[in-house]
Every structure is written in C-alpha cells, then in structure tokens.
Amino acid sequence: MNLTSIDDLTPSLFQEIISLSDRFIEVSSRPIPKVPVLRGKTLATVFYENSTRTRLSFEAAAKRLSCDTLTFNLTTSSTSKGESLQDTIQTLDAMGIDFLVIRHPLAGVARLASGWTNASVINAGDGCDEHPTQALIDCITLIQISNQLSDYDPDCQGSDWPYLKNLHIGIVGDIVHSRVARSNVRAFTRLGAKVTLVGPPTLLPSDASSWPVDITYDLDEVISQFDVVYALRFQKERIVQSLIPSLDEYIRYWGISSDRLDAMKPHCKIMHPGPINRGVELSSQAADCEKSVILRQVNNSVPVRMAVLAALSGVYVHDD
C-alpha cells in the first residue's frame, strides 16, 4: 500500500492512522519508546531535496518501531555519477526494502516511483504536488486541540468523524508552490473543515477555483473569521521576483504580524509546517505566542509517522 497523496487514503485507513497515532503518542512517552511492530523491516529515505524534520522524523519513527533504516544521500550517491532515479529505486528494491520514503523537486515522482518497487512508497514531498504525512500530522494536531478551537457546541466536533466539522481554517501565503497546502486542503475538507485560501493572486494556483475552498486576496477582511490560521513558508527558492513586487509588500499584506494577532478570534490557533522564515510569513511574536501550536505539530510528527508506517504495513485497530 502506498501513500503518495491524501487521496490514496480510504476513509478506513484515514481512521486507522488517527487511532494508531494515539497509541504511538503513548508509546513515545515511555521510558523506552520503542516497540517491535516492524521488526525485520527496512525503510529507505531517498531525498532529492533538503530536509531536516521530515527525514529525521521518518527515521526516528522507523527506529521506534524497530524498523531498520537506510539513508540515501544525494551528494555522496551514484546520482552524482549520472545514475537515473529509476535505476536508484530499482537498486534499492533489489536489495529488499519495505518502505521507500521519497522527496523530489518534481511533482508526481512518488507515484512514478511506486511503479518501480514493491515497497510501500510514501511521498515526503514531490515538487508542488503533495506532502500527505505533513497533512496527517496537522489533522491529528487539530483533532487534539479541537475542543479549544470553537465557540460551537463541543459535542459536535472532535469526538468522531468528521473530526473537524465546523472549523474554519485559513491557509495563508504562498499557496501555488505549496505541497503542504495541496495535501492539507484535501485532508481538512475530508474531515469536514471549511478552508479559505488567502494570498496574492500571483501565488494562488490558477486551478484553485475547482478546489473545495473559498479564495480571497484580503487577509484583514477574513482573519477574524478563522479558528485556525495556517501560515505557509514563503518559498524563496521557488518564488521568482516577478511574482511579488517586493518582500516588504508581501509581509505587509500577508504576514502574520502582531497587529493581526489582535484581530484574530481569542481561541484562534496558529500553525506552520516549518521551517519558519521569522519576520516573513510569521513575526517572531506570532510564532512564539500562546496561539501558536507549531511545536505541538513537531511533537506529533514522529508518532503520526509511526502510525503511517504501521497502518501501511497492515496493523489495524478497527475491526470492520
């Protein structure tokens, strides 16, 4: 079974990952946070793009499940001798791996790779396409705090499917380059949340009108309606200068500044997939204030990825 997109998840597998995450949060709090669920299995991380938290949390998740890990290092690998992606993956497959965690600058590579190996392929970010495990981490973080999030009847959310019913989530910033946004729109809306995308017209995808979301360019008009403000990283490496007039102007219109903190609902939470450009999409004050649940997202990253690995290998909670 693969996880190249949030759309790969059947409702029951989505539910399994949510339930298993709870187990592995408890396991992670033990004196010895390691269980033999994936003993004898092997996971390879193949990253053609830089990463700290995603790669390390996948490797930590594997190790806590007693799964062995192989790390592909782009600069010291045979890629520098001209080996193709296909040959690299087929070589790993021939060595015998059970999970292939892949990140690549081109959209669709994870799905392509799944045709070259029998291992479970997990997309750790493919260009501007998807980053499904980040979306799962964000969903589980929101489910944990959903009772703090709303003025609505607490019984109507957070307890059962759809877990995020009645929440209004604003995803703010550079949507067009964001694989996190694409996965999160799919995941949040499947869990019943209302999603509004906010950003400059040049950084909104041209096909966004077909997504199940509202779209606006004016952050100040909508910020007071959100239960969650999800700030995206300003992807300097992908943004060409013609897309925005200047960084200062971008910050003034779409950055989460201290003035905008005051305009938010009192219970509104701030999320970010990391790494943060402090002073760009989030002011330092916004990143560190009591509204921020960014460190909770990081906290959940290992147990949720443990849940993904266990669920893809066939461990399950619900018997139906």
Q: Which residues bind another protein (CB under 8 A)?
A: 19-20, 23, 26-27, 30-32, 34-37, 313-319
Q: Give, in order, the Cα–Cα distances in Å from 138 to each of 36, 61, 164.
A: 26, 17, 11
Q: Please count the residues of the chain.
A: 320
Least distance in Å: CB of 26 to another protein? 6
Least distance in Å: CB of 40 to another protein? 12
- Dihedral pair phi/psi, residue 127, rounded to 5°: 55, -130
Least distance in Å: CB of 140 to another protein? 16
Least distance in Å: CB of 166 to another protein? 25
Query: Quick one: 113 or 310, whose CB is closer to another protein?
Result: 310
Query: Quick one: 28 or 51, whose CB is closer to another protein?
Result: 28
Least distance in Å: CB of 304 to another protein? 16
Distance between CA atoms of residues 264 and 243, nearest Å: 28
Query: Quick one: 40 or 115, whose CB is closer to another protein?
Result: 40
Query: Quick one: 65 or 231, whose CB is closer to another protein?
Result: 65
Query: Quick one: 253 or 316, whose CB is closer to another protein?
Result: 316
Ordered DSSP codes for the chain: --BSSGGG--HHHHHHHHHHHHHHHHHHTSSS----TTTT-EEEEEESS--SHHHHHHHHHHHHTT-EEEEE-TTTSGGGGT--HHHHHHHHHHH--SEEEEEESSTTHHHHHHTS-SSEEEEEEETTS--HHHHHHHHHHHHHHGGGT-SS-GGGSSSSSSTTTT-EEEEES--TT-HHHHHHHHHHHHTT-EEEEES-GGGS-TTGGGSSSEEES-HHHHGGG-SEEEEPP--TTT--GGGSS-HHHHHHHHSB-HHHHHHS-TT-EEE--S---BTTTB-HHHHHSTTB-HHHHHHHHHHHHHHHHHHHTT--S---
Query: Quick one: 19 or 90, whose CB is closer to another protein?
Result: 19
Query: Quick one: 74 or 315, whose CB is closer to another protein?
Result: 315
Least distance in Å: CB of 319 to another protein? 4
Least distance in Å: CB of 30 to another protein? 6
The tokens for 145 are 């705090």
Query: Quick one: 262 or 320, whose CB is closer to another protein?
Result: 320
Least distance in Å: CB of 269 to another protein? 27
